Chains A and B, each alone.
Chain A
Amino acid sequence: MAPTYNIAMVSDFFFPQPGGVESHIYQLSSKLMDRGHKVIIITHAYDGRTGVRYLTNGLKVYHVPFLVIYRSTTFPTVFSFFPMFRNIVLRERIDIVHGHASLSNLCHEAILHARTMGLRTVFTDHSLFGFADAASILTNKLLKFSLSDVDHVICVSHTCKENTVLRASLDPLMVSVIPNAVVAENFKPPDASELSSNSFGQNPPPARPLGPHDTITIVVISRLFYNKGTDLLTAAIPRILENHPNTRFIIAGSGPKAIDLEQMIEQNVLQDRVEMLGSIRHEEVRDVMVRGHIYLHPSLTEAFGTVIVEAASCGLYVVCTQVGGIPEVLPSHMTVFAKPEEDDLVAATGKAIAALRANKVRTELFHEQVKSMYSWTNVALRTERVYNGISGAISEAEFYGYDASNPATWSATRGRSGVQSFALIDRLKRYYGCGIWAGKLFCLCVIVDYLIFLLLELWFPRDKIDICPDWPRKPRNERRESGVR
């Protein structure tokens, strides 16, 4: 019987704000609770949402009052979160602190304080960063600071792992790749009643052959920003429509580049072939997707690209640019890859249209395939292995996969991957290596943090803090475990 843990997910980004990180945290938390763990979520207070909230499944959310500066990121104060964080952690008897998203200041602070308090920490990175511009350099330095003493890092794709390893100078073995998943039930292809055909409940579902003159609908759902490749889209749409009669576009999403798209539509008089829906809610995404046959994703950078998995789950053939982690996400029979070039995107879309017209692509099978590839249960299981590894339930040798009998093979990383020691001096050693000046500054921060911790122990003694009664935990379903590694 594997142990169960009390886990605190910490991130600036959570509901009611919509987004990928938010739903990742929610889905992962609820699946972990299904597996018998206790999970709470700590985020900052949103408008009209303060204090403690309970979500479905008894998921408890702490909305901590904090100054929000930019796009719901809190102001980095390094220490000010500590008293409240300590209180929550002690109340909830937390063992593992799991931070999300590298732009979230709350998460970095929580990791620092958690290590000071002697807790295990995990960090999940959801995004890619470059190394060139000033903003990235600053973010990378801060990431290095908080990840100097983290126990394990989870990345959503292999590209993301490479990126994070370089940015934070981590040992690659303490970085796991656990992808996002989709709730396949929410992204079903149009069923029989929606298609108004008489085939009913067949397994596998019947193919939907396309006639040579049927209209093929290409769906684009993305925020219309520069890095989502809207410029490519704007350039490619008129050419695609010109090359292929009987095609039309549905574009959902809003953003600063929407005006370019509208201008393109008017210049080329494509009002009847390009439909712009504006921004849509996440619940409506599926309903828009099932109206199309091809999903076009022209993004310029993407860590994982959940939306293309959702599209494939809806039974759409996916045309996407080959950037970031996208090539790892879907098998080649579901996708046509394009370089981030106008010509190549047009050609790839043409290829996809031709393949659909020839009825070569079994899109009706996609849903089941995607369902077997990505599920949150699997993600939770794999995350649980990380928890087991860092808390010692799995032996270090097994978790990190080195030969314990031959320490010479692993001397270089022992300092990093064997992050077992909470001794202040060991932690300082790890921070000191961060850079000539930064190392000393980071050490100073850690020492101050430790002093604050001692002060808090005196000021608010542990035994004076109430222990919060737990919800009855779900019994652990061992049967489910056997199927997956």
Chain B
Amino acid sequence: MAPPSGLHHSALPSGSLNTSSTAVNGTRDHPILARSATAPTTLKPHRPDPSHLAPEDAFVSASPPRRPALFDGGNGSGNETRPRRIRRKEASRSRSRRRKRFQKLLWVKQSYPDNYTDQATFLENLQRNPRVQPYDFWPLVADSTVIMQHVCSVIIFVVCFVGIFQERVSPVSVVGWGSFATFVGWLLWDWWVGQETQEAGAVDGNIRAGPRDFRQPRRQDSEVALPGFNPSTTSVSSTSNMASAASSSTNLVHENYRSQRSIPNGYDTANGGNLLMPGHAPSRSVSSVHSATSQTSLPKADGYGYGDGAYWDGPPSRWGRAKLRLGTIKSAILIYFTLLGLSPILKSLTRSTSSDSIWAMSFWLLAINIFFFDYSGSGGVRKFPVASLSTNAALMASTVLASRLPSTGQVFSLTLFSIEVFGLFPVFRQYARHRSWRYHVGLTVLLVLGAGGGVGMILGDKDEQRGLPWKNGLIGMVVGCLISAVAMGGCSWWLIGLQKYKNEIYGPWDPARPIIISRRHWDDE
């Protein structure tokens, strides 16, 4: 995967320009071929080199420093007029000369052959890498923690499965600890939400006064991008290959967020908890003004969609939150019993399939989960298919894996655990990242340690476990930390290193980006 060494001296990838290496050398070797060489004195019928372009010149004249003042970074097409006008004036002045100056115009009858290439004007509007933003190392590493978190949680899930499958770990303890963690996470989340609604309630009055003025900040907010939630509800519940238990469990998560996704959806949800959710007025009032765009541009404050509680009452009410909690507990119990009922069916789901196919299948499904996961954290409607693909793949992987397990209890435990890991945990992770960077880092470290330790323990000898159960785990943790550090740092460094091969070419041939002020119909494409 290492870049070809032959290209080190050149900023051009070999793909785009055939003679790139000579071109770059040409910059140094032939300074004569600069623009000033087009003085009209050299224009004879069969002139030697200077008035004609050598192919190097395509690249020499392409180098940005030649006319830096003209490139304002935006669109190149607007800049064309000035040099051309000037040239036209010069042309009229030099009419006395034997040959008129070459003009880059088609309607003029030129006294040059059609394949004449004018040094002064050829490729004058070409820009290279006008919009490149260099990456910094530490921000890249910081951003890669999101991926690390997800990979680690997938690893932890696989480790738990292997533990249950090899009967090293009791399934009850896995699901017990998992549920306990989920419960703690839910309490924490509930507390955070409560805090934030209070803050939002304080701002509420201002926003109510001028909902119109709120429009601009909202746009900025949505660009800065903050975790909303990946709205995978509908598609999760529509997956045919998932047990309905799984889907209803994701509903447990999503019912809280659904209201955010679209206004009509939020209104006609039959779920009581939804309408009574604690929230603040702005999200509803604003979004009803701009219902068309509100789905994607909700401000971060109500990124979790607890905003529609304001349907009845503006400030959050204690009664509403209690009702919400009650609803959540109700759905949790419902899911618990549905899963319990479905477990025997799941157990025999893939009995006729060989284990090898199941391992391969679950590997690919988990790979799909990792690759298509919505790491951006700004769950908008646009990301919709991709994000739900990821969740569905993970839940299907867990279902087929669970169907390998021999007893109903194990199947139940693994399925419930997978719902916690793939359905609820990403939400919590996103919210933790949104809340505080410190929580995020802590969670990452915890996950890396857990994944490393788990893998270490699984790989360790089964019999040896009786003696030193934590030794392998500790080694695994150390190795896991090392690998993750190397992976995050190495990949970031590699990406930065690859930037020097970046060669974006912009010119008048690119479709212009229209600037439209009243962006009513204009969707940023």
> Are A436 and B114 also in contact (CB < 8 A) when A165-B58, A412-B56 are?
no
Per the bound structure, the CA–CA distance linking A129 and B507 in Å amounts to 10
Q: Type the 1/0 row for A171-200, where 1 means its CB is closer than 8 Å to any CB of B.
A: 111111111000000000000000000000
A139 to chain B, nearest CB (A): 13
User: Which candidate, A35-43, A208-216, A326-334, is the interface stretch facing chain B?
Assistant: A326-334
Chain B residues in 8 Å Cβ range of A355: none
A80 to chain B, nearest CB (A): 27
Question: Are B14 and A402 closer than 8 Å at their CB atoms?
Answer: no
Per the bound structure, the CA–CA distance linking A229 and B513 in Å amounts to 9
> Are A157 and B106 also in contact (CB < 8 A) when A131-B504, A175-B115 are?
yes
Question: Are A166 and B56 closer than 8 Å at their CB atoms?
Answer: no
Of residues 344 through 403 on chain A, the ones whose CB sits less than 8 Å from some CB of chain B are: 373-374, 382, 385-386, 397-403
B42 to chain A, nearest CB (A): 12
Q: Tell me how many residues of A have a C-beta within 8 Å of chain B.
A: 84
Question: Are B77 and A322 closer than 8 Å at their CB atoms?
Answer: yes
Per the bound structure, the CA–CA distance linking A175 and B125 in Å amounts to 18
> Are A322 and B505 also in contact (CB < 8 A) when A172-B122, A340-B515, A401-B113 are?
no
Question: Are A158 and B106 closer than 8 Å at their CB atoms?
Answer: yes
B59 to chain A, nearest CB (A): 9
In the complex, B205 has a CB within 8 A of chain A: no
In the complex, B81 has a CB within 8 A of chain A: yes
Chain B residues in 8 Å Cβ range of A301: 509-512
Q: Type the 1/0 row for B24-67, where 1 means its CB is closer than 8 Å to any CB of A.
A: 00100000000000000000001111001111111000000000
Which residue from B15, B52, B58, B116 sits with its C-beta under 8 Å from A438?
A: B15
Per the bound structure, the CA–CA distance linking A162 and B47 in Å amounts to 22
Question: Are B514 and A166 closer than 8 Å at their CB atoms?
Answer: no
Chain A residues in 8 Å Cβ range of B46: 397-398, 401, 403
Question: Are A169 and B19 closer than 8 Å at their CB atoms?
Answer: yes
Chain A residues in 8 Å Cβ range of B17: 166, 169
Question: Are B521 and A343 closer than 8 Å at their CB atoms?
Answer: no
Question: Are A162 and B122 closer than 8 Å at their CB atoms?
Answer: yes
> Are A436 and B77 also in contact (CB < 8 A) when A178-B114, A179-B106, A403-B47 are?
no
> Are A406 and B18 also in contact (CB < 8 A) when A159-B508, A171-B55, A413-B54 are?
no
Question: Are B525 and A327 closer than 8 Å at their CB atoms?
Answer: no
Please name the residue on chain B nearest to A171 by beta carbon.
B55
B56 to chain A, nearest CB (A): 6
Question: Are B511 and A163 closer than 8 Å at their CB atoms?
Answer: no
Please name the residue on chain B nearest to A157 by beta carbon.
B106
Question: Are B107 and A331 closer than 8 Å at their CB atoms?
Answer: yes
> Are A337 and B114 also in contact (CB < 8 A) when A232-B514, A323-B512, A401-B52 are?
no
Question: Are A231 and B522 closer than 8 Å at their CB atoms?
Answer: yes
Per the bound structure, the CA–CA distance linking A368 and B346 in Å amounts to 82
> Are A166 and B16 also in contact (CB < 8 A) when A322-B78, A331-B107, A401-B47 are?
yes
Per the bound structure, the CA–CA distance linking A260 and B520 in Å amounts to 10
In the complex, B117 has a CB within 8 A of chain A: yes
Question: Are B114 and A177 closer than 8 Å at their CB atoms?
Answer: yes
Per the bound structure, the CA–CA distance linking A227 and B517 in Å amounts to 18
Question: Are B48 and A129 closer than 8 Å at their CB atoms?
Answer: no
Per the bound structure, the CA–CA distance linking A385 and B504 in Å amounts to 36
Which residue from B22, B58, B125, B509 sits with its C-beta under 8 Å from A130?
A: B509
In the complex, B75 has a CB within 8 A of chain A: yes
In the complex, A235 has a CB within 8 A of chain B: yes
Question: Are B18 and A169 closer than 8 Å at their CB atoms?
Answer: yes
Q: Type the 1/0 row for B85-116, where 1 means its CB is closer than 8 Å to any CB of A.
A: 00000000000000000001111010101111
Please name the residue on chain B nearest to A231 by beta carbon.
B522
In the complex, B199 has a CB within 8 A of chain A: no
Per the bound structure, the CA–CA distance linking A436 and B522 in Å amounts to 42
Chain B residues in 8 Å Cβ range of A343: 515, 517
B66 to chain A, nearest CB (A): 15
In the complex, A240 has a CB within 8 A of chain B: no
A187 to chain B, nearest CB (A): 15
In the complex, A445 has a CB within 8 A of chain B: no
Chain A residues in 8 Å Cβ range of B84: 327
In the complex, A410 has a CB within 8 A of chain B: yes
Please name the residue on chain B nearest to A405 by beta carbon.
B48
Q: Type the 1/0 row for A48-76, where 1 means its CB is closer than 8 Å to any CB of B.
A: 00000000000000000000000000000
In the complex, A307 has a CB within 8 A of chain B: no
In the complex, B217 has a CB within 8 A of chain A: no
Please name the residue on chain B nearest to A345 by beta carbon.
B514
Question: Are B512 and A340 closer than 8 Å at their CB atoms?
Answer: yes
Per the bound structure, the CA–CA distance linking A400 and B49 in Å amounts to 11
Please name the residue on chain B nearest to A175 by beta carbon.
B115
Per the bound structure, the CA–CA distance linking A157 and B114 in Å amounts to 11
In the complex, B80 has a CB within 8 A of chain A: yes
Per the bound structure, the CA–CA distance linking A160 and B114 in Å amounts to 13
Which residue from B18, B26, B104, B514 sits with its C-beta under 8 Å from A340?
A: B514
Per the bound structure, the CA–CA distance linking A438 and B18 in Å amounts to 11
Q: Which of B54, B115, B505 gathers most chain A CB within 10 Å?
A: B115
Question: Are B49 and A403 closer than 8 Å at their CB atoms?
Answer: yes
Question: Are A264 and B521 closer than 8 Å at their CB atoms?
Answer: yes
Chain A residues in 8 Å Cβ range of B109: 485
> Are A173 and B15 also in contact (CB < 8 A) when A162-B123, A231-B514 are?
no
Per the bound structure, the CA–CA distance linking A50 and B520 in Å amounts to 47
Per the bound structure, the CA–CA distance linking A166 and B4 in Å amounts to 22
Question: Are A436 and B113 closer than 8 Å at their CB atoms?
Answer: no
In the complex, A30 has a CB within 8 A of chain B: no
Please name the residue on chain A nearest to B26 by beta carbon.
A412
Question: Are B512 and A163 closer than 8 Å at their CB atoms?
Answer: no
In the complex, A17 has a CB within 8 A of chain B: no
Question: Are B114 and A327 closer than 8 Å at their CB atoms?
Answer: no
Chain B residues in 8 Å Cβ range of A137: 15
In the complex, A132 has a CB within 8 A of chain B: yes
Chain B residues in 8 Å Cβ range of A112: none
Per the bound structure, the CA–CA distance linking A19 and B26 in Å amounts to 42
> Are A227 and B521 also in contact (CB < 8 A) when A176-B115, A402-B52 are?
no
In the complex, B352 has a CB within 8 A of chain A: no
Q: Type the 1/0 row for A425-446, where 1 means its CB is closer than 8 Å to any CB of B.
A: 0000000011110100000000
In the complex, B126 has a CB within 8 A of chain A: yes
Per the bound structure, the CA–CA distance linking A373 and B17 in Å amounts to 35
In the complex, B69 has a CB within 8 A of chain A: no
Please name the residue on chain B nearest to A383 by beta carbon.
B114
In the complex, A342 has a CB within 8 A of chain B: yes
Chain B residues in 8 Å Cβ range of A399: 113, 115
Per the bound structure, the CA–CA distance linking A399 and B48 in Å amounts to 14
> Are A131 and B104 also in contact (CB < 8 A) when A175-B115, A406-B48, A412-B54 are?
no
In the complex, A234 has a CB within 8 A of chain B: yes
Q: Type the 1/0 row for A302-346, where 1 means its CB is closer than 8 Å to any CB of B.
A: 011000000000000000011111011111000001011111000
Question: Are B49 and A158 closer than 8 Å at their CB atoms?
Answer: no
A334 to chain B, nearest CB (A): 9
Question: Are B77 and A323 closer than 8 Å at their CB atoms?
Answer: yes
In the complex, A246 has a CB within 8 A of chain B: no
Chain B residues in 8 Å Cβ range of A260: 521
In the complex, B516 has a CB within 8 A of chain A: yes
Please name the residue on chain B nearest to A397 by beta carbon.
B46
Q: Type the 1/0 row for A127-166, where 1 means its CB is closer than 8 Å to any CB of B.
A: 0111110000100110010000000101001111011011
Other A-B pairs, 13, CB within 8 Å; known A132-B510, A386-B114? A130-B511, A144-B18, A158-B106, A172-B58, A176-B115, A263-B521, A300-B513, A300-B514, A323-B77, A324-B508, A398-B46, A401-B113, A402-B48
A–B Cβ pairs within 8 angstroms, 22 of them: A130-B511, A154-B114, A159-B509, A160-B509, A162-B508, A163-B507, A166-B16, A172-B122, A176-B114, A179-B106, A231-B521, A232-B516, A301-B512, A304-B106, A323-B512, A325-B106, A328-B104, A340-B513, A341-B516, A400-B115, A412-B55, A413-B55
Residue positions of B touching A, CB distance < 8 A: 4, 14-19, 22, 26, 46-49, 52-58, 75, 77-78, 80-81, 84, 104-107, 109, 111, 113-117, 121-123, 125-126, 504-518, 520-522, 525
Q: Which 9 A-B pairs have the closest CB atoms?
A: A169-B18, A176-B114, A409-B49, A128-B509, A340-B512, A341-B515, A301-B511, A172-B117, A163-B509
